[in-house]
Every structure is written in structure tokens, then in C-alpha cells.
Structure 1
Amino acid sequence: MKVHIAGLIRSLMLTLVVTVSGQQARSEDWRLVWSDEFDGPQLNYSQWETEVNAFGGGNHELQIYTDREENVRIENGRLILEARRDHHGIAGTVREFSSGRIRSKHRGDWKYGRMEVRARLPHGQGLWPAIWMLPTEEKYGGWASSGEIDIMEFKGHEPDTVWGTLHFGKSWPDNEHQGTTWKLPRGTFSDDFHTFALEWKAGEMKWFVDDTLYQTQTKWNSAGGPFPAPFDQKFHLILNLAVGGQFVGAPDATTTFPSRMEVDFVRVYQR
């Protein structure tokens, strides 16, 4: 019995050392350069801009984006992006749905790094939450020749699956895209918070869910420059909750409104 206990103690100590060593290696490898824990009373406008438009995202989305607290707010230490069916209007345009979209453009722009966002996602037909990046300066031309990085996209009617995608090549409609999906082994992305991450370096991108690597991309192209263009410029973060559009289709009678995307934190690391 004493031998067994001693062996168990040695095993536990070894596990502790390995775990701590792994944490130290990661902390030394990546340096936190930008973050928002959403602990303040309102959105930090030195880090984020609230987008207000009825553009439809170029995807025939059905929402209008506003800066109202009903759609964008801080609540209990979390960012809330809330989609509502309230027939709100701006500049003479009224839409059946309103929602929230924020971006870090000119407040947080990075070339390479590890981007982490911990969030809980709403499910339901026609709901489309996303965590993604666009180029701050379109050096190689209009979308998507200057690139787009989709860290996480989610179809509300597929509540256990997320998408990670790159857009590149020529300008629309001759652009290209490539990516894949990752499925939770159990439950849905609405049940709890999950951490979505992208590791981006010259010529390589990796996608993670809860530190599980599920995709690596090393091949893309740009009509405007040599590899690794267009992903050799500064990009900024976008968080939004769209309603409808070509990717997910329109809401139906089963879709619940209001529905919310909750974000616990956003963290950016660089080497």
C-alpha cells in the first residue's frame, strides 16, 4: 500500500510538472498584445467601432445593424450582440430584423498572431453568428482579392458545427475560398461557451476550438501579389450576428427572437 501511494504521488507530481511546463512554454511563446474582457459598463470605443447600416453584407442578409443597447451592449461581463424582430429603421430603411456588429478597424489591426474569442452562440434557423477578419487596407483590390479570414462561422440550424474559411484570389465574382467544418463530440455551441482561435503566421493558418486543432491551411493565392499575399497585411476583427442571407437562409416559425451571441473575451497574442 505504501509503495502504491508513493508511486501515485510521483505520478501526480510528474503530471503537475508537465502541465505547468506546458503552460509556461505557451506563455513564453505568445505575448498578449490586445484584449477586451468586457468588464466595463459599456463597449470600449477605444477598441471597437459599432457598425450601423442596412447593407445586408453583400449576402442578402435581412437585418439592420444598429448601435442601440437593444442590439449591442455589455451585460454581466459579456458582450451581447442581440438579434430582434422589431422592424427598426435607419436613414429611411426599415427592416424586419435588427442586430449588432462591431469591428476593431484602426483600433486593433494585426499582421500575424493568435486570435482567441470565447463565445456562446445562438441556435435557430436563419441565425448566423461570426468571428472574422478583413484587411484594414485593401492593398490587393476589392473583396476578396485582399482576403478574408473566417475564424468561426455558425449556421443556427446546425447547432453542433462551426466553419473556418479563407477567401482570396481575384475580386468578386471570380474569387476563391477554401475551408472546413468542426463538429462538437456532444452537445451544441449554444449549451456553453467555447474558445475559437486562429494562429496566423507567414504562409500558414491554423484553426482551433477549445485548443483542438482542426484545420491547417498553407496554400492560397492573390491576383495582386506573390504568396503569402493577400494574408501578409494587417487585418482587423469583426464580431457580428447576422439574420438570414445566402449562407443560412431566412428565419422560420421555429426561430426564437430575441436571440443573442454572448462573448466572454477577445484576446490577441503575438510572438
Structure 2
Amino acid sequence: MITMALVAVLPAGAADTLLSQGRPATASSSENVAFPASAAVDGNAGTRWSSAFADPQWIQVDLGVSASINRVELSWEAAYATAFQVQASANGTTWTTLHSTTTGAGGNQSLTVSGAGRYVRVLGTQRSTQYGYSLWEFKVYGPGGGDGGGDRLLSYNKPGVASSSQHDGNCWECTPARAFDLDPASRWATSAWSDPGWIYVDLGATAQISKVVLQWDPAYARSFQIQTSPDANTWSTVYTTTTGTGFKQTLSVSGTGRYVRMYGTQRSGAYGYSLWEFQVYGTGGNPTDPPAPPKDPANPPALVWSDEFNGSSGSKPDAAKWRADPGTGPNNELEYYTNHDNASMDGQGNLVMEARKQATAGSACPPDPLTGSTTCQYTSARMNTGTKFHFTYGRVEARVKVPKGNGFWPAFWMMGADFLTGRPWPYNGEVDIMEILGKDVKTSYSTVHAPAYNGGGGIGGPYTLPNGADYSDDFHVWAANWDSKGIVYTLDGRTVFTLSKDQVEQTRGPWIFDHPFYLILNLAIGGDWPGPPNAATPFPSRMLVDYVRVYQ
């Protein structure tokens, strides 16, 4: 809903390391090709492994190297194990039992264990049904921050040094530290737009380096080397390319050193070099564990917050859940948002957000295209859950009926909660679940905005109702299913747009949506995108909201 631009810096995220995701998995059997062992370790809560209908059965994952194991999470389908063991092995042959039960209850289980091994398996010895065993998710965790395979993230919050750093209105405090803070919305950039340009990190002690992850800004390196050094003076090259692609690059390397450097020798364009993230993985060093990442929603998710708007006619929004957001809107909008004067219950289970042709004394809006007045000629409603309810991940949905008429811009959306503490848009992140223009009520939009893609460059798309129906004719349910893998937008239960975190990082820029957000409802009038009302625009007009719900 916001469409501006700026620059800023701030937080990040991990204590236990998820070791199993995407690693090779095998099983004693699979019910059929639709339910392979790999589906239990792919991080997708909608895919699963299922076994043959017999006892015993097992599934195991190869972590790549021996690792300490302190937790196993199992998300069972209805065909769960009553009796099973969690076991670890150094060679995939000799097994040590870390957990055993004969009273398994299925559902989502988080098991605290203690052990080590390269292979971890679940061995089922008694089924709960006549069917086999079936797991939506099989996750193995170990202590410390990392990215799977037993390697740890070594570079988090470690000191960085660079050939130069930018610090101006275009890139505020774009220092080397920003590349190592695990904050995908802050970055390092060179102030010198020349070759070569470089940045290195001090891991604190000698380390064996196995992987480097670079998330480039559009100012990326066409030619560069990854180098290691024991003393930051003598460098050994462990990776080199002259065909750098920018965006996210995950590089398998093998080297030893206390210092790791990206040394750029040819820029991709006229600007310098810039990295949102420079992550180094391996063993050794003196790593600092990053904060724990947020947990994905349960499968199926449970209702954690809602407003059904069942108050009496004329009653105001629940102050424990919503706060008014009075004032003029952004984007050259023409309305003045009142302090809930334009928001109330209708006594029939709906929130009414009413747009009125009503001048507001003392307000300062852009000049009205019809009258030229800078006094706001319209009032409307905007409210949010900021300071009341923030959350990370879940299914977010609202049942809404939108108004029709030139100039109307109803929206249901989310803003990153750090916006409330000073991080400017779009560095806090914005998730638009529903936007409709009153001049075209047959088209709805769902979009995300971030530093590398915002405003007209936001990632999303338009979609329509079957048979070209009009959104203003009835209520519809807009939802965003949001987790660590991305966002799936649905309309009335039908998927309309899918955003993959991995794909966005590979093709558009950093994904900045893994932190708390809050909810916003508003009915804007005018602005850069919808244009102004005209003589035929009906006033007053209403946006009706039947409910808003969040599941986790």
C-alpha cells in the first residue's frame, strides 16, 4: 500500500541449526512414487513420505558429516507410529537409540535428544492404523547457527574490513559489518566506483571453509575471487569466476584461514560493489551463534488471533486489537483518516469502513484535482494492530466486500513491525494481501515490497474472479499462507499467486519477510495509482469486513 523509497539498517536471526533440510533421505519403502523419503526433509509442510503398510519401517537422513544432535521434530500425518525410536549412526549400519516410545500420539512432536552421528533415522515398530507410517516433516537439529550439513555459520557478527564503504543519502551506513549481520535489508557498498573492490571478514580463529553465500545488490561483481588468509596479508584463492551472475550465489569451496575475502576485479555496471549478505560456513573459527529463526506454523495451523466484528451497531473497533491510524495517507492520497469516526460495527457481524465526501478543517492534502483545494475533501478509515498484535508466519485471512467507484483503493495488508521503531519503508518489508482499484473491481492484486523491489517494481500480480465477476458484488476471502519458504496467496481457497523465497533471492534480491509484521485495513481515496474520484463516484461508500483471522 505504501509506495516510497529510503535507506536503513537493523536486526537479524538462530540458536539450534536445522541440519536435515534438503539432505539425502532414504526409507525402507514408499507407498508409491508420490510419497518419497525426500518429501519429509524438503521443508514443505504440504509434502510427505509414506511407507508400505507393514511393520517395521524406517526413514533416515544423511547429514553429510558427523554432527551433534539435540532435537528432532516430527510432523505426523494421520498414519503415525505408536511405537518408534529415533536413532543415530556414524556409518548408516550401527545405530544408537536417542529416543524410544511405545505410546506415540502422532501430531507434531518436538523431541529433546542427545547424541551424534552422520545419519539419523526414525524406526517405526508399531503402526497406529492399518496403513503405513507417514511424516509431513522430519527435522534434525544440532547446537549452534548454521545451514545444514553439520557446518556452522562462522561469519555472523564478525568484524569486517573493506576497500571502501558508502555512507550517504543513497546508502546510509553501508559499512562492512552490514554484510555479516544476517539482516537481509542492510548492506555493504563501496564508495569508490572502480576496480578492484573487496571486503573480508575476521572469523576470530583458523577455520576450514566449505561454503560461501553471497546475496548481491544490483551492483555486483562480474569477475571476483573468494580468498582465504591466515593473517589478512597473504591470500589463497579458493574460488574464481569471470561470469558472476549477481543475486544469490551459493559457492562450494575448500580452504583454510582465519580471514575470508571477496575480491572483485570487474564490476557489472557503472557503480561499485555491494552485498546484502556475505556468509561463510565451515568448521573451526570462533563463531557467534545467531538468534533462533522463527518456527514455521503447525500443520494444520491453529487459530491464534481473530476479530469477528460481532459488536452492536455503531460500536467501535476493539481497542485491545486495533488502533486508529489518523492523518493523511501517503502516495498523494486525497483522504483524511479519522480517529475511528469512519469505522464501526453494523450489528450484522461486519466492520464498516466508510469513505465520505467531507472536508476536514486544518488538514493538508495534495491539491484536489476537482477543486484545487489542499484541505482534504474526503474522510475515510485506516486501522492496524501495531503495538497490539505482531506475528511471524501463519495463515492470514480476511473476508471482505469492496466498494466500487473511481478513486477508491481498499486494502488488507501487513507492515514489518520494525517500521514502528524507526526503520523506514521499504526496509521493514510490506506484504499486500489484497488491493483493488475502485475503477476496476474485476481485478485484485497481491504484492510484496522490499529494498530491492518496491513501488512499481514490487513482486506480485493481478488476478480475477471466475467468469469475469465483479469483486464489489459480494464478499470474498483473501489469504496469505506465509512461512520460511515463502508466501502462497489464495482467493476463496484458490491459489492465485505463489512467492518462493529461494526464487526471489535468486532472481530479484533479498527476502526480508522472516520477522514480525502487523495487520492493516484501510480504504484510501485517490492517490498515484487509483487516480482521483470523479463526479460519478458514490459517496458515502463502504468497505465491509466480516472477519480477520490469523492461524499458526
In structure 2, the partner of 1:106 is: 387
Q: How do residues 162-241 of structure 1 correspond to structure 2 at under 5 angstroms?
A: 162-170=444-452, 176-186=457-467, 187-218=469-500, 219-220=503-504, 227-228=510-511, 230-241=512-523
Question: Which piece of structure 1 moves more, 206-215 or 37-46?
Answer: 37-46
In structure 2, the partner of 1:33 is: 304
In structure 1, the partner of 2:408 is: 127
In structure 2, the partner of 1:66 is: 338
Q: How do residues 145-160 of structure 1 correspond to structure 2 at under 5 angstroms?
A: 145-160=427-442
Asked if 2 retains the 8 angstrom alpha-carbon contact of 1:163 and 1:180, the reply is yes
The alignment status of 1:161 with 2:467, answered yes or no, reads no
Could you say what the CA RMSD is over the residues aligned between the two structures, in angstroms?
2.5
Give the drift of 1:239. Answer: 0.2
Give the drift of 1:141. Answer: 4.1
Counterpart CA distance in 2 for 1:38 and 1:199 is 22
Give the drift of 1:214. Answer: 0.8
Deviation readout 1:210-264 (Å, 9 max, x if unpaired): 000010011445xxxx954x10110000000000001100011111010110000
Q: Which amino acid aligns with 1:263?
A: V
Asked if 1 retains the 8 angstrom alpha-carbon contact of 2:452 and 2:510, the reply is no
Counterpart CA distance in 2 for 1:171 and 1:183 is 24
In structure 1, the partner of 2:377 is: 96
Q: Which amino acid aligns with 2:392?
A: K
More helix by share: 1
Aligned residues: 237
Partner SS, residue 109 of structure 1: coil
Higher relative contact order (CA 8 A, sep 6+): 1
Q: Which amino acid aligns with 1:78?
A: N
Partner SS, residue 137 of structure 1: helix
Asked if 2 retains the 8 angstrom alpha-carbon contact of 1:145 and 1:171, the reply is no
**Unmatched runs of 5 consecutive residues or more in structure 1:** 1-20, 22-26
Counterpart CA distance in 1 for 2:393 and 2:299 is 17
Counterpart CA distance in 1 for 2:436 and 2:363 is 30
Counterpart CA distance in 2 for 1:121 and 1:60 is 21
Structure 1 residues 245, 91: CA separation in 2 closer, same or farther (over 3 Å shift)?
closer
Partner SS, residue 190 of structure 1: helix
Deviation readout 1:101-131 (Å, 9 max, x if unpaired): 0101121111000001001000111100000
The alignment status of 1:137 with 2:418, answered yes or no, reads yes
Q: How do residues 46-61 of structure 1 correspond to structure 2 at under 5 angstroms?
A: 46-54=320-328, 56-57=329-330, 59-61=331-333
Structure 1 residues 178, 123: CA separation in 2 closer, same or farther (over 3 Å shift)?
same
Asked if 1 retains the 8 angstrom alpha-carbon contact of 2:334 and 2:527, the reply is yes
Counterpart CA distance in 2 for 1:181 and 1:128 is 15
In structure 1, the partner of 2:539 is: 257
Asked if 1 retains the 8 angstrom alpha-carbon contact of 2:336 and 2:363, the reply is no
Asked if 1 retains the 8 angstrom alpha-carbon contact of 2:448 and 2:454, the reply is no
Give the drift of 1:67. Answer: 1.9
Structure 1 residues 68, 34: CA separation in 2 closer, same or farther (over 3 Å shift)?
closer
The alignment status of 1:44 with 2:325, answered yes or no, reads no
In structure 1, the partner of 2:524 is: 242
Give the drift of 1:86. Answer: 1.1
Identity of aligned residues (%): 36
In structure 1, the partner of 2:346 is: 75
Counterpart CA distance in 1 for 2:340 and 2:454 is 32
Select which of 332, 338, 358 maps to 1:86: 358
When Rg is computed on C-alpha atoms for both structures, the one with the higher figure is: 2
Partner SS, residue 487 of structure 2: strand
Give the drift of 1:159. Answer: 1.0
Instruction: Please give the TM-score of this superposition, normalised by the length of structure 2.
Output: 0.41
